[in-house]
Amino acid sequence: DMRSDRYIDLIERLVEASRAPALTAHADQPASTTLPALARRDWKRLRQGVQRVPEPAADADLHRIRILAKRARYAAEAAAPIAGKTVPRFSEAAAALQDILGDHQDSATAQVWLRGAGSGSRAFVAGELCALEREVAARDRAEWPKVWKKLDRKRLRRWMI
């Protein structure tokens, strides 16, 4: 509700933030050094996350990797105008990882939903669909490490300081 105290408080805080934005210690540094360094931080988080994934990975682990891949990709895209020609290739590889893990997450979510489909003929059809989704998830589980290896190449991240 736009008349609620909560909404009015939000608007007041946004107006105040626009008048006196909180700046970090890096605010006066050139983007050519700051943006690649920030992208490197998100890259390291992604890489560490992948290294910590147990075998076999739980659905939640793969979803977390997808979120980290998205952050690394967006950080790279923010740095692209000043960081060089390899950034788009890095972003494309990160997007590929994000896509395959997104497909896996969609499949895992669909399976959970389908398992609660009810009884009778609906349950039979839901079971068939669930089996198809299990195949998709298995394919994605087998494929994501290959997609990761394409992203985890030193030449794709040389631009990160």
Q: What is the CATH number of the domain that holds 67?
A: 1.40.20.10
What is the value of pTM for the model shown? 0.83
Burial tier of 117 (Cβ tally within 10 Å: 0-12, 13-18, 19+): middle
Rounded Cα distance between 80 and 83, Å, is: 5
Residue 15 located in a structural domain: no
Quote the pLDDT of residue 1.
80
The number of CA neighbours under 13 Å toward the Cβ of 71 is: 17
Residue 118 located in a structural domain: yes
Quote the pLDDT of residue 27.
82
- For Cα atoms 149, 153, 156, give the angle at the middle one, nearest 5 degrees: 130
Rounded Cα distance between 116 and 39, Å, is: 41
Residues of the chain with pLDDT under 50: none
Rounded Cα distance between 78 and 159, Å, is: 13
Residue 26 located in a structural domain: no
Quote the pLDDT of residue 149.
97
Q: How many domains does the chain have?
A: 1
Residue 12 located in a structural domain: no
Quote the pLDDT of residue 100.
98
Structural domain span for residue 118: 33-156
Residue 5 located in a structural domain: no
Rounded Cα distance between 37 and 55, Å, is: 31
Quote the pLDDT of residue 23.
81
Quote the pLDDT of residue 2.
82
